[in-house]
Amino acid sequence: MRGVGRRGAARREPHLRPGDRIAVEDPGFASVLDLCAAKGLVPVPVEPDEDGPLPDSLADALAAGAEAFLLTPRAQNPTGAALSAERAKALRAVLRSHPRALVIEDDHAGAVAGAPARTLCDARRERWAVVRSVAKALGPDLRLGFLCGDAETLGRVEGRQRMGLRWVSYLLQRTVLALLTDDAAGSAVRRAARCYADRCQALLRALASRGVPASGRSGMNVWVPGPEEGTVAQRLLAKGFAVTPGERFRIRSGPAIRITTAALAPREADRVADAVASTLGGGGSAQMT
């Protein structure tokens, strides 16, 4: 697509075209995989752990021809991974060998992520974009995001905007600015971040005490590996608990279920953990009867 870019930049083609490869987290956000399919992009899986994408896995993806890397630096959905300082340093070292690869960071949870903001991008990188949303922290109706990046990438984004609505509501922008600069709103956001973290950690502790491995270092989701994810989800639903089978988040990573903890009171964690443990057999294997 073409459009007028930042600072009067010339009309440009998109960074990626159908058939191009893009490195993505596996497991990763289902909408990212859907977007890849819609745009005809080939997702190349990058394995994460609780500290973020694994450097060797990213290096393999870039060596396999990935021209871009899309990651969630904290509150990763579905695993809850968050970049540690050491992991961010190691990933930047990998990316230095691929200076033309586009790096996109989707910091969707922002201030309520429950982990510090860390980035793989800076002004020395040729192509990069960091997106931070306020929808999670301030409210889902405040669908406003902030974008920072290199001039070429920002120009391409502005070019695409000119093909659509062309502007973002000034009323919405002023509302968000007022909330971001209001002390009371800031205190409420910090309380919300602590509340989300407490809910997630309560479930993780309850699962661990029952011998069920799970991850959820940040954000509002807990990722529980185990076979027969569809069957497990159905059996939990029959017990009154709705979870999401992991298939839609995966490329080649193993099966799992995602448990969203945003509205799960800590006092309910034991009940949920009991149901999960009994469904998995207490040690991570589904009971088939």
Cα of first residue to Cα of last residue in the chain, in angstroms, is: 54
Element housing 95 (H / E) = helix 85-96
Evaluate if residue 230 carries a pLDDT over 90.
Answer: yes
* Alpha-carbon gap, residue 68 to 53, rounded angstroms: 14
Evaluate if residue 12 carries a pLDDT over 80.
Answer: no
58-85 pLDDT, tens per residue?
999 999 999 999 999 999 999 999 999 9
At 285, the pLDDT band (50, 70, 90 cuts) reads very low
* Alpha-carbon gap, residue 160 to 164, rounded angstroms: 7
Return mean pLDDT, the chain: 91
Element housing 39 (H / E) = helix 30-39
132-158 pLDDT, tens per residue?
999 999 988 888 889 999 999 998 888
- CATH architecture of the domain 6-180 equals 3-Layer(aba) Sandwich (3.40)
* DSSP 8-state secondary structure symbol assigned to residue 215: B
* Alpha-carbon gap, residue 255 to 246, rounded angstroms: 6
* Mean of pLDDT values over 165-173: 82
At 287, the pLDDT band (50, 70, 90 cuts) reads very low
Listed residue (11, 30, 1, 23) closest to 248, CA to CA:
30
Output the DSSP codes for 113-169.
SSS----S--TTSSSEEEEEESHHHH-TT---EEEEE-HHHHHHHHHHHTTTT-S--
Evaluate if residue 5 carries a pLDDT over 50.
Answer: no
* Alpha-carbon gap, residue 64 to 67, rounded angstroms: 9
* Mean of pLDDT values over 109-119: 96
What amino acid occupies position 34? D
Q: Where is pLDDT greater, at 282 or 167?
A: 167
At 123, the pLDDT band (50, 70, 90 cuts) reads confident
Q: In what order do the strands lie in the sheet with 221-225?
A: 221-225, 256-260, 244-245
* Mean of pLDDT values over 40-69: 98
Listed residue (258, 206, 271) closest to 230, CA to CA:
258
The percentage of residues in the chain with a pLDDT greater than 70, rounded to a whole number, is 92
The percentage of residues in the chain with a pLDDT greater than 90, rounded to a whole number, is 82
Domain coordinates in residue numbering, the chain? 6-180, 186-280
pLDDT of residue 158: 83
pLDDT of residue 3: 33
CATH assignment of 186-280, given 3.90.79.10, 1.10.3720.10, 3.90.1150.10, 3.40.50.1010?
A: 3.90.1150.10
Listed residue (249, 259, 252, 251) closest to 280, CA to CA:
259
pLDDT of residue 269: 98
Residue 151 CA, distance from chain mean position: 24
* Mean of pLDDT values over 190-205: 97
* Alpha-carbon gap, residue 213 to 88, rounded angstroms: 25
C-beta pairs of 259-263 under 8 Å, 24+ apart in sequence: 259/203, 259/221, 259/222, 259/223, 259/224, 260/220, 260/221, 261/196, 261/199, 261/200, 261/202, 261/203, 261/216, 261/220, 261/221, 261/222, 262/196, 262/199, 262/220, 263/199
237-252 pLDDT, tens per residue?
999 999 999 999 999 9
